[in-house]
A and B are shown apart, each in its own frame.
Chain A
Amino acid sequence: MESLWLSVKLAAWVAGILLVFGIPLAYWLAFSRWRWKFFVEAAVAVPLVLPPTVLGFYMLVAMGPQGPLGSAWSKLFGRGLAFTFQGLIIASVLYSLPFAVQPLVVAFEGVDRKLLAASAVLGAGEWSTFRRVILPLSLRGVATSAILSFAHTLGEFGVVLMVGGNLAGITRTVSIEIYDRVQSLDYTQANRLALLLLALSFAVLSFVYGMNRRVRRRVWIPWASR
């Protein structure tokens, strides 16, 4: 149970951080005209391709005392990053980055450009156009982004396995514990935890899609009027 709570906590942190950093990044990706933008787009998508354990291994190296992350972190806080909850958050943020950014980019790009022009004509600056036009019209994208990064982190395994060190209450997330139970041939406990994780994920996803449905129903669609 402790591990399930830890996973939820990790997923919530990651989803929150990714919203804060993902929105400006996605905004830039959606509206920038920089010719080398596609390199940034590709870099954001790379964690989709890398096997999680491979990503985790290089995160572990980066978090080491000689690694860029590890040395910067220990200068700031006087301790290492691997085998800590903070370390898990940083690794998971990178791992779930594409899942947070892609839906946001799609949502921002989907906003009718005429509305942006109208907003500019009415004298609104970039910030207030974003706040009063783009963001309200992209709320579904924002919700999808948050929920995808939450769900993706909840079930995360390979990255946590590589950088976590399996410490109870600190880095032993529910997926790690399920794996451990299976390894120790304790299938009963493994099944119980897996079922809990499944039920929780299903509940969260149902809730979100249910909310989305309510948003959608406000729009009248002639061929789906029932």
Chain B
Amino acid sequence: MAGENHILALAIRLFALLLGYAAPAGLCFGQPCEIRVAAASDLSFIMPELASQFERQSGCALRVSYGSSGNFLSQLRNGAPFDVFFSADLEYPKRLEAAGLTEGRVCEYAVGRLALWAPANASVNPASEHWNALLDPAVAKIALANPDHAPYGRAAIAALKKAGVYERVRTKLVFGENISQAAQFVQSGNAQLGVLALSLTRAPAMRQGKSWEIPPEFYPLIRQGAAILKGARNAGSARRFLEFLQSAGVREILRRFGFSPPPAD
């Protein structure tokens, strides 16, 4: 009988744990300051670096969720619990601002850059062939993000058109739902080349590949904006984080991770 009770107690405790009643006695519990961040997936490599720097400076921790900017927009409109929204473009946060869902104005935090990328073992080499790599007969499929809703996809199409190769490669294009998925298409070898975010090609899994940064004059600026959301639990700290992003030290981090600092205007 005693043994049975013991098992029952254990089962109850396990159940409580599954429901999240047991205190997660980790670092984040009881943290005096926590900012809940919704970030575009092209930020998934730079954000941890920025978060750790900011945490050291301010003692304020960031809890970041990554996803597509468009999804976040729909979720934020329907009351998703975030304090700050980092979009991969300027349009989405501006829409939130227009709908009166932001605290203050939208601010620009970075400019995205494009790269042509192939795996290390590929026969084409964008680093030396540049645009000609796209026309190589060994290239059957070229991956990019969906230009209908992904800012990097839009920029990629613009660049292909400006370089005068769009019509010749149009039938080879395949579209990822976002820029990371486009990268997976190339990494898995199903596409031979990708027009990707430079920030992704700096990721540990892709650093060995062959990449060429597409010169910025080939596409319109990929301006990325952020906004503090109405009802933010911690608007003051969120504001401080946005200010921190404008600081000189951060500009160097942005460059290192494949972004440019926002244009001064």
- A residues near B (Cβ < 8 Å) are 57, 60-61, 63-67, 70, 79-80, 82-83, 161-162, 165-167, 179-180, 182-185
Shortest Cβ distance from B73 into A: residue: A185
The 8 Å CB contact of B146, one of A64, A80, A166, is A166
- In angstroms, Cα B149 to Cα A64, docked, is 26
Min C-beta distance of B162 to chain A, whole Å: 23
Once the chains bind, are B149 and A180 in contact (CB under 8 Å)?
yes
From the candidates B140, B148, B189, name the one contacting A183 in the complex (CB within 8 A): B148
Which of B48-56, B174-182, B215-223, B239-247 forms part of the interface with chain A? Answer: B174-182
List the A side residues contacting B174 at CB < 8 Å. Answer: 83, 165-167
Q: B190 at interface (Cβ–Cβ under 8 A)?
A: yes
Docked-complex contact A64 and B148, CB < 8 angstroms: no
Q: Which of A63, A167, A183 contacts B190 (CB 8 A)?
A: A63
Residues on A with beta carbons closer than 8 Å to the beta carbon of B141: 80, 82-83, 165
Q: How far is the CA of A20 from the CA of B173 in the complex (A)?
A: 34
Asked whether any CB of chain A lies closer than 8 Å to the CB of B78, the reply is no
Sorted nearest first, the 10 A-B pairs with minimum C-beta distance are: A165-B174, A82-B190, A183-B149, A64-B189, A166-B175, A183-B70, A64-B188, A184-B149, A65-B189, A83-B174
A167 to B181, CA, bound (A): 15
Most buried by A among B71, B95, B146: B146
Flag whether B152 is at the interface (Cβ < 8 A). Answer: no
Is the interface on chain B under 10, 10 to 19, 20 to 34, or 35 or more residues? 20 to 34
Q: B198: shortest Cβ distance to chain A, in Å?
A: 22
Q: How far is the CA of A180 from the CA of B175 in the complex (A)?
A: 11
Q: Which A residues touch B71, using CB under 8 A? A: 183
Q: Which residues of B contact A64 (CB under 8 A)?
A: 188-190
Which of B141, B149, B175, B190 has most chain A Cβ within 10 Å? B190
Q: Does B102 contact A (CB under 8 A)?
A: no
- Chain B residue numbers with a CB within 8 Å of A162 are 181, 184
Question: What's the nearest-Cβ distance from chain B to residue A184, in Å?
Answer: 5
Does any Cβ of A come within 8 Å of B68's Cβ? yes
Residues of B within 8 A of A185 (CB): 70, 73, 95
Please name 11 pairs of A and B residues whose Cβ atoms are closer than 8 Å in the assembled complex, sorted by A.
Answer: A64-B190, A67-B188, A70-B189, A80-B140, A165-B143, A166-B176, A166-B177, A180-B148, A182-B70, A184-B149, A185-B73
* Minimal beta-carbon separation of A170 from chain B (angstroms): 10
| Interface mask (B159-178 → A, CB under 8 Å = 1, otherwise 0) | 00000000000000011110
B185 within 8 A of partner (CB): yes
CB distance B188 to A165 under 8 Å?
A: no
B190 touches A70 (CB 8 A): yes
- Chain A residues whose C-beta falls within 8 Å of the C-beta of B95 in the assembled complex: 185
- Find out whether the CB atom of A161 lies under 8 angstroms from the CB atom of B177: yes
Q: Are A184 and B70 in contact (CB under 8 A)?
A: yes
